[in-house]
Structure formats: C-alpha cells, structure tokens
Amino acid sequence: MKRPFSLHLFRLAAGTAPALLLVCVGTLIGYLSWRGAPTLRLSLFFGSTPVWDGLTGARPVWDGIWPACAGTLCLVGLTLLLAVFPGVGCGIYLAEYASPAWKRRIGGAVNMLAGMPSIVMGLFGFSLILLLRHSVAPRANTGMLLAASCLALLVLPVLVATTREALEAVPDSLRLAASALGMTPARRLSHVLLPISVRGIGGGVVLALGRAAEDTAVIMFTGVVANAGLPAGLTDKFESLSFSIYYTAAQYQDQAELLRGFGTALVLLGISVMLLCAARFLENGYRRRWRGGDA
C-alpha cells in the first residue's frame, strides 16, 4: 500500500527536528570553543597572581576569573541549600497529601511564581533591602545571601513541579501494593515512592542548578559586582561568571578582552556540565543501591 504524502511529510519533519537541534547545539559549542578555547590558560583564571596565592585568596586576583568561578559555585550551592528542601517538600505535599482544593490553590501560586521574570525577582530583592534599611535594619545591604534567596525563589517552581510530576507518575497499583503490605503512608513515601521517583526529582535539581548558575538579572540587583575577590561571607558582595560575561560583553576595551569573555562563557558551560555529571553520579549510586545490577 502506498503511504499517503502527509505521512512522508510528517516523517521528514520528525527526522529534521532532532537534526536541527544537534546542529544548533553543535554550532553553539563549536563557536564558543573556537573563540574561547585559546584563552583557556591559567592566566585566564588567575591573571598575573601566583596560582596558589590566588586559589587560596592569599593575594587578590585582579584580571582573572577565579573569584567569579568561586562566587558562582558558592551562589549555586547556597541557592540549592535554600531551595531544595521547600521545593521538594512542597512537591511531595502537592502530590501526596493535598486535597484537590489546596492542590488548585498552591498549584496556582507555584505557576504564578514560575511565570515571574527574573528581573522582577531581582527588583523584589532590591526593594526588600530598601524596606529593611528604612525599618528594622538600617545597615542591611545586598550580598550573597540575598542573591541566593532570590535565586531560590526563582528556581523553586521547577523543583516543585518536577517533584510533583515524578511522584504522580508512580502507578497507583504500586501505592496500593505498598498499602496492602501494611506500610503506613509515611513509610510508603520514604521506602517506595521516593526511591522510585528519585530520577525525576534529580532532574529537577539539575534544571534548578543550571538556572541558578546562568541567571544574571536577579543577582545584578542583589549583590553581584565586577570586582570583589573571593566570596567572603553571606552578607558580602561577590563575583559571578554570568555577570562577568555580561560585563565583558558590554564594556570590553580590546579584542583580547572580548576573547577572554568567550573563555569565561566556556568555563561557565564547563561548570554546568560538571555539576550535571555530579548530580547524575549521585543519582546512579542511589539507584544502584536500590535496584541493583544493570539498571
């Protein structure tokens, strides 16, 4: 039987879409590497400061991106620390315990938060500091903790949604089987449902992580600066890779500086990939423990 023309067209389109995706990603990484890779030397990270002194912060690094790397890592870590518990917890509540009415209400609030542009979140953080200054804490200032809190708000909806979806994807037959064995709802959650949905929840954490590493709009209002040295404390200003890329792109003086910007972008990409691999590694270890063998 001859296939209808529309089916051929559909198959062609279905084949083209992934090819297009590969070409786009390839071009992006290729271009970044072509411009950025030649600048990937120790001097990109530490400038003219001796490596060990720069690494430990014994001497300030003036024209290298190491402080920005450290700033990004601290910021992402702190953001996850603040966001994972409430995000995953809220997802669990929505999937397992909430009544339909509360599901609607909380789900709506989470969707609204998800639709919030990051610049608005930054402005929110900034106005919060202004409010604090004029009321209870006249010395309050923008810094790492404020930036991480605002970023946590930004990534919270991703964590809630992926946790909820992962739990709701567990077939009802398994819930019933666990109940029929005599597991209490809490045991059922901790020993059956969460281990099964850990992959989905892990995926949400990775997404949140990427979002926190790349965002510039939020931190621009809440404490990032071009030159701060290594992150010093929760209330201090800090540097970050995403802001340093933005700053370089806007203010570069010569071609060499622009190329260093490409190098910085490549480093940010590398850090994101590294964090992603770390998350996968942890998750696989966890899965091996439960599922065993070749799963």
Q: Does 249 help bind another protein (rule: CB under 8 A)? A: no
Residues 119-178 touching another protein, rule: CB under 8 A, are 171, 173-178
Q: Which is nearer to another protein, 112 or 169 (CB)?
A: 169
Q: Does 101 help bind another protein (rule: CB under 8 A)? A: no
DSSP track, 71-121: HHHHHHHHHHHHHHHHHHHHHHIIIII--HHHHHHHHHHHHHHHTS-HHHH
Question: SS3 for 260?
Answer: helix
Q: Does 292 help bind another protein (rule: CB under 8 A)? A: yes
Residues 137-142: contacts with CB under 8 Å, at least 24 apart: 141/223, 141/235, 142/221, 142/222, 142/223, 142/237
Q: Which is nearer to another protein, 254 or 294 (CB)?
A: 294
**In the bound complex, what is the minimum distance in angstroms from residue 185's beta carbon to another protein?**
10
Angle between helices 66-92 and 194-214 (to 10 degrees): 140
CA distance 268 to 261: 11
Q: Which is nearer to another protein, 180 or 250 (CB)?
A: 180
Cα-to-chain-centroid distance, residue 112: 19
**In the bound complex, what is the minimum distance in angstroms from residue 87's beta carbon to another protein?**
24
Site size with another protein, rule: CB under 8 A: 24
Q: Does 295 help bind another protein (rule: CB under 8 A)? A: yes
**In the bound complex, what is the minimum distance in angstroms from residue 203's beta carbon to another protein?**
17
Q: Does 294 help bind another protein (rule: CB under 8 A)? A: yes
Tokens representing residue 159 in the block: 């964590």
Residues 170-229 touching another protein, rule: CB under 8 A, are 171, 173-184, 187, 191-192, 195-196
CA distance 125 to 140: 12
Q: Does 8 help bind another protein (rule: CB under 8 A)? A: no
Residues 42-71 touching another protein, rule: CB under 8 A, are none
Residues in touch with another protein (CB under 8 A): 171, 173-184, 187, 191-192, 195-196, 290-295
